[in-house]
Chains A and B, each alone.
Chain A
Amino acid sequence: MGRVLQPFAYFEPSSLTEAIALVGAPDTRILAGGSDLILRMRRGEARPSRVVSLAKVTGLDWLAVSSAGDLEIGALATLSRVRQLVAASHQWGAFQDALDQLTPPQVHNTGTVVGNICAAVPYYDLPTALFALGAKPRIVGAEGERLLPLADFYVAAGTTALRRDELVASIIVPPSPVNAGSAFAKILKAARRASDVHKVNAAARLVIDAENGSIGEAAIVIGSCGLRPWRAPDAEALLIGAIAGEGVFEAAAVAAADAVQPLTDVPWVEAARRGFVRALVGDILNLAAQRARQHDGSAA
């Protein structure tokens, strides 16, 4: 814990190959925007002797929607650029919500989506939203490239499935079909034990049949309630095949709340946490359905 950082060796590779070679060494951390790493280093939670900056690696600031409709976000694409593109695309509502609600504004100019995802901080918002949207990190390493669903990417708090000689070059968000809608929301609270978390967040994605209003696909992701975001399959099961509506969403919200594992042994704190999950899931299901029905996945 300090006011300043302590010295480290600093590298600025200019190619992905060079970067991969550098990150393989022991006691090395990767720097993208720095919002997470620099803070951890100042607080003494991370003490790498080597820091590899991706700032000069060509090609990592790629940000575009492919011809197949995937959104590919390069490791250096800032929150600010991504937010603009997502807003203009009128898809991926949960992602737009999470970006809109991410504070402070200053971090949008330096923080990166990939950096946010790779930090594996249990209470971050983007992982929850991107999990619900089926996003996949594109991992590159000495042995080649692989795509991994976020569900498999998070192993524990602060730990991802990245091998030592790998880094995430980009994250791919699949296209959103026209009758899909998604939403994200969060509630801030006090952490009342060391194991408690100071917020609850949740994201949901629904695909609703335009003809009969029945739910074809459902994803409910709860974040900040554990070491990594998790899906609520029992709640999702109540939705599949059902006609979208407040009653069925409330039932799913109750099921999601029931699936929350306590983080503390304080009954009232856990009761409140479950209450928050229930409220959030109810609200985001309604919003996701509304967006799905508008044939427009946007947050507008």
Chain B
Amino acid sequence: MTKQIATFTINGRSRDAIIEPHFLLIDVVRDIFGLTGTKLGCGSGECGACTVLIDGEPVNACLTLAIAAGGRSITTIEGLHDGQAGLHPLQQAFIDHGAAQCGYCTPGVLLSMTALLAANGNPSAADVKSALSGNICRCTGYVKIIDAVLDAAARLRLRNERGAAA
């Protein structure tokens, strides 16, 4: 047996798990660490429901071996918040715009969009659609998701301007 102890940095904290090479990252995150916010939708890297951030970049956890993710910084939906202030502006914008329906795609969508806004604080609707193209939503038709992301981007820019001015 090739059981080994691996150390992961998840949502800023270091956590150990006993894993084997054939374990997928999504199963380690969900079943061993109990972080069930990351969802399995297709297991083929085609729906994006399992999107997590590795070193800030969106990655499909269903096609990543857990053993390959040790030593990298992993962010799951549970790690998305606004410091002490509670919900991240993206999350609040999703609530305000009704951008989540069944909610199953939502964690993956939020993480993809977090990465988008980190790279581009002023995305166009086309930029949002392109960054969203790897996250399938079957419920919303994407309309309110795009509205929410653009609104969140605007709120973040405003906050940054105020922060810069202060």
Interface residues of A (CB under 8 A from B): 3-10, 31, 34-35, 38-39, 41-42, 51, 53, 55, 80, 103-107, 109-110
Q: A7-B20, A38-B24, A39-B45 are in contact. List 10 more A-B contacts (CB 8 A).
A: A7-B2, A8-B22, A10-B2, A38-B65, A103-B133, A104-B48, A105-B134, A106-B58, A107-B60, A110-B54
Give 9 nearest A-B pairs by CB, closest first. A104-B134, A10-B21, A109-B57, A5-B22, A105-B134, A106-B60, A106-B134, A106-B58, A38-B63
Other-chain residue from A39, A42, A105 in contact with B131 (beta carbon distance below 8 A): A105
Other-chain residue from A9, A35, A41 in contact with B2 (beta carbon distance below 8 A): A9
Nearest B residue to A36 via CB reads B63
**How far is it, in angstroms, between the C-alpha of A104 and the C-alpha of B2 when the chains are bound?**
32
CB-CB under 8 A from A109, the residues of chain B are 54, 57-59
Nearest B residue to A34 via CB reads B63
17 of the cross-chain contacts (CB-CB < 8 Å) are A4-B24, A7-B1, A7-B22, A34-B63, A34-B68, A35-B45, A38-B63, A38-B65, A39-B44, A103-B134, A104-B134, A105-B112, A106-B134, A109-B58, A110-B59, A110-B60, A110-B63
- Residues of B85-127 at the interface with A, using a CB-CB cut-off of 8 Å, are 112
- Contact, CB under 8 Å: A51 / B133: no
Nearest A residue to B63 via CB reads A38
**How far is it, in angstroms, between the C-alpha of A55 and the C-alpha of B130 when the chains are bound?**
28
Chain B proximity of A164: nearest CB distance (Å):
22
Other-chain residue from A4, A105, A107 in contact with B27 (beta carbon distance below 8 A): A4
- Contact, CB under 8 Å: B46 / A8: no
**Given A4-B27, A105-B134, are A110 and B64 neighbors across the interface (CB < 8 Å)?**
yes
- Contact, CB under 8 Å: B59 / A7: no
Other-chain residue from B21, B45, B67 in contact with A107 (beta carbon distance below 8 A): B45
**Given A7-B2, A51-B21, are A106 and B48 neighbors across the interface (CB < 8 Å)?**
yes
Nearest A residue to B55 via CB reads A109
CB-CB under 8 A from A8, the residues of chain B are 21-22
Is B37 in contact with chain A by the CB < 8 A criterion?
Answer: no
CB-CB under 8 A from B135, the residues of chain A are 104
- Contact, CB under 8 Å: A80 / B21: no
CB-CB under 8 A from A5, the residues of chain B are 22-24
